Amino acid sequence: MSLPRSRRVLPGFTPTLLWTLIWLTAVVLLPLSAVFLKASSLNAAAFADAAFSPRVLASYRLSFGASLIAASINTVFGVILAWNLVRYDFPGKRAVDALVDLPFALPTAVAGIALSALYSPNGWIGGLLAPFGIKVAFTPLGVLVALIFIGLPFVVRTVQPILEDFDTEYEEAAASLGAGRLATARHVILPALMPAVATGFAMAFARAVGEYGSVIFIAGNIPKVSEITPLLIITKLEQYDYAGATAIAAVMLVVSFILLLIINLLQARVAARGSRHA
């Protein structure tokens, strides 16, 4: 970062940038680097033992697998919901529009107990599914339900503004060239939405991988079956196994960084797309 070479017209650059850097380092970078330093103090065997034991591997499979499925489901229905909100008029639309952000505003623990009540065998949905032999609460399916809950707004809120700004002229042009609605949707609308959809997917996925509060109540937390990785970290911590917890955390952090990188690249593409339409 280069400091100003010449006098600047507006004051305050140096103090505000310094404060930004100091605060960022103190609150975010130093603690996170502690994770990597601690993890690097383990020898390879101990690290592999802690980060890749069968129980931990099972938790990765669940966390990443369920997150992937949840984000995919959210992508499909999130796009449809965004389409509903932008393109159709229906009673209660404003309420739906405002409530889509509920998972952002609602404490995850509250979501967790609400979902487990709803999907337990004597809950409203759990009761409906029980006669068919489908169990949701205390199974991996429960994890999936919780991750769908927390991820939905990411997709809706990244796609919605792009759809709102999408100039009708493109669709009119497609129609004038003889395209039907389905062809227009496939060849004109969806390609324009793609970067935003991908961003929403990646954000929902990133959030789901790290999610803890809403999942643990409904998951049942059975080792190797419905135990998510963040919970495993907490379990290790409670057993004072700092090294084990840190090794798992380091693996997850690396994945987070890669996701962040992907999200940033996608967002740059969304921005480029946006300016091309303007």
Partner 1 sequence: MSAVIDTPRPGQDRARFLQTNTATREPWLVRLVLLVLGVGFFAIFLLLPLITVFVEALRKGLDTYGWAIHDSDVLSSIGLTFLTVLFVVPLNVLFGLAAGWAIAKFEFRGKQILITLIDLPFSVSPVIAGLSYMLVFGARGWLGPWLIDHDLKVMFAVPGIVMATTFVTFPFVARELISLMQSQGREEEEAAVVLGASGLATFVRVTLPNIRWGLIYGVILCNARAMGEFGAVSVVSGHIRGETNTLPLEVEILYNEYNFAGAFAVASFLCVLALVTLLVKWWVERRVHSGDAS
Partner 2 sequence: MSIRISSIHKQFGTFTALDSVTLDFPRGELVALLGPSGCGKTTLLRIIAGLETADSGEVFLDGREASNSSVRERQVGFVFQHYALFRHMTVFENVAFGLRMKPRAERPSDSDIRRRVHELLDLVQLDWLAERYPAQLSGGQRQRIALARALAVEPQVLLLDEPFGALDAKVRKELRRWLRRLHDDLHISSIFVTHDQEEALEVADRIVVMNHGKVEQQGTPEEVYSHPASPFVYHFLGSVNFFHGRVEGNALQVGDTDLGPNDSEELNAGDHFVACSRPHELELVPADSASAGLLVKVSRLFRFGALARLELDGQGEQAGQIYEAEVPLTSVDALALQEGSLVRIRAGALRVFPAAAPDEVLATNPVAPVSVAPGPGLASAVNA
By the criterion CB under 8 A, which residues form the site for partner 2?
Answer: 6-7, 9
Residue 11 or 131: the one with the smaller Cβ distance to partner 2 is: 11
Separation CA 228–CA 223 (nearest Å): 9
* Residue 115 binding partner 1, by CB under 8 A: yes
Least Cα distance to 104 among 203, 201, 197 occurs for 203
Binding range to partner 1, per CB under 8 A, among 44-52, 53-61, 109-117, 135-143: 109-117
Q: Looking at residues 82 to 101 of the shown chain, list those that interact with partner 1 (rule: CB under 8 A).
A: 83-90, 93-94, 96-101
Separation CA 154–CA 75 (nearest Å): 9
Neighbours of 247 (CB within 10 A): 25
CB contact at 8 A, 219 and 146: yes
DSSP assignment string, 175-240: HHTT--HHHHIIIIIHHHHHHHHHHHHHHHHHHHHH--HHHHHHH---TTTT--HHHHHHHHHHTT
With CB under 5 to 8 Å by kind, the binding choice for 88 among partner 2, partner 1, none is partner 1
Min dist CB 2 to partner 2, Å, is 11
According to CB under 8 A, which one of 50, 162, 211, 219 is a site residue for partner 1?
A: 211
With CB under 5 to 8 Å by kind, the binding choice for 6 among partner 1, partner 2, none is partner 2
Min dist CB 9 to partner 2, Å, is 5
Residue 8 or 186: the one with the smaller Cβ distance to partner 2 is: 8
